[in-house]
Amino acid sequence: MFKEILAHVDGSEAGAERLRFCKSLAAASAARLMGLHVRPPVAVRPMGRATDLNALIAASEHEIEREAAASAALFHSLLEGSDLEHEWRERSGDVAAVLCAEAAYADLVVVGQYESQSPPHQHPLPISLSLALHSGRPTLVIPAAARPRTPFRTVLIAWEPSAQSARAVHDALPLLGEASMVRILTVSQTTHAAMAADAGVKLKAHLERHGVPNLSVMDLRFDLRDERTLAEQIGGGGFDLLVMGAYSHPMWLEFLFGGATQSLALGSRTPLLLSH
């Protein structure tokens, strides 16, 4: 089970829902919950007169402090009087870099779907992807529109026999063991269907030995350019959680992070557990 959970906290409504979920997950796991807010560097683009720039910097600094205060207030209000072991942390610096450093001491990191850092030309990736690729820890991405509850009852594993997928599945074992239904989805072109199906059967047998209940395997055959087929299967299945390796296949890379309309990471209403 998870024993230390790190939650990236902001003062938004979605952030409050995400923190409630983290509290519930930590309680179910008898885990310690660490709340972290990172003050980013001031980022303004020079335009016009120096007095205008100073005003922009002052406004940005004020917003950074307002967000930090709101985040701290949210964490303390939700955890005050709780028997749950918890700790509040505030740091300053590059948000993704600080989160990656703090994640080294956690079993799971929970972040929001749309969290990013300015300026975009220096930080083009969402924070969730930076964490999944560089922290070495499983990253649970909670969509802004999601209202997740513990435990996750129905779980979909997007599977291929790769190091990234294997890491994600084993990172997710504490969650898989609590599920009531787990589906293994293997993706293949028609010419590789038998190989993909065999990989799914092998994973099913492996997870059964770990006590994961009610497992099934489904092979989805499609052209690599047909991203909508995969999106419909994942988004329309009513799953509570999707487990997959970050960058586990060029197709996954393009599908997850290639564009706003095709991206699960930025467009899914289903929580995602990503590992690399």
**Interacting residues of 197 by C-beta distance below 8 A, sequence separation 6+:** 186, 188, 217, 219
DSSP string, 136-185: SS-EEEE-TT----SSP-EEEEEE-SSHHHHHHHHHTHHHHTT-SEEEEE
Q: Where do the structural domains in the chain lie, given as residue ranges?
A: 4-142, 154-275
Confidence at residue 268, expressed as pLDDT on a 0 to 100 scale? 73
Structure tokens at 155: 């779980």
CATH class of 154-275: alpha beta
Q: Look up tokens 């492996």; give the residue.
A: 206
CA 220 to chain centre: 24
Confidence at residue 191, expressed as pLDDT on a 0 to 100 scale? 46
- pTM given for the model: 0.87
pLDDT tens column, 214-226: 999 987 765 444 5
Q: Fill in the DSSP letter of residue 248.
A: S
**Interacting residues of 60 by C-beta distance below 8 A, sequence separation 6+:** 42, 43, 44
Confidence at residue 149, expressed as pLDDT on a 0 to 100 scale? 85
Nearest CA among 60, 45, 38, 56 for reference residue 119: 45
Burial of 259 (0-12, 13-18, 19+ CB in 10 A): exposed
Around Cβ 191, how many Cβ atoms within 10 Å? Answer: 8
Q: Classify residue 238 as left (phi > 0), alpha (psi -120 to 50) or beta.
A: left
Do the domains 4-142 and 154-275 sit in the same CATH topology, yes or no?
yes
pLDDT tens column, 6-64: 999 998 888 999 999 999 999 999 999 999 999 998 877 666 565 677 888 888 899 99
Nearest CA among 13, 174, 39 for reference residue 97: 39
Strand partners, 272: 141, 242
Nearest CA among 190, 185, 251, 184 for reference residue 221: 190
Burial of 147 (0-12, 13-18, 19+ CB in 10 A): exposed
CATH class of 4-142: alpha beta
**Interacting residues of 116 by C-beta distance below 8 A, sequence separation 6+:** 123, 126, 127
pLDDT tens column, 187-244: 765 445 566 668 999 999 999 999 999 999 987 765 444 556 656 666 667 899 999 8
Higher pLDDT, 125 or 27: 27
Q: How far apart are CA 223 and CA 58, in angstroms?
A: 52
HSE (CB half, 13 Å, CA atoms) of 144? 9
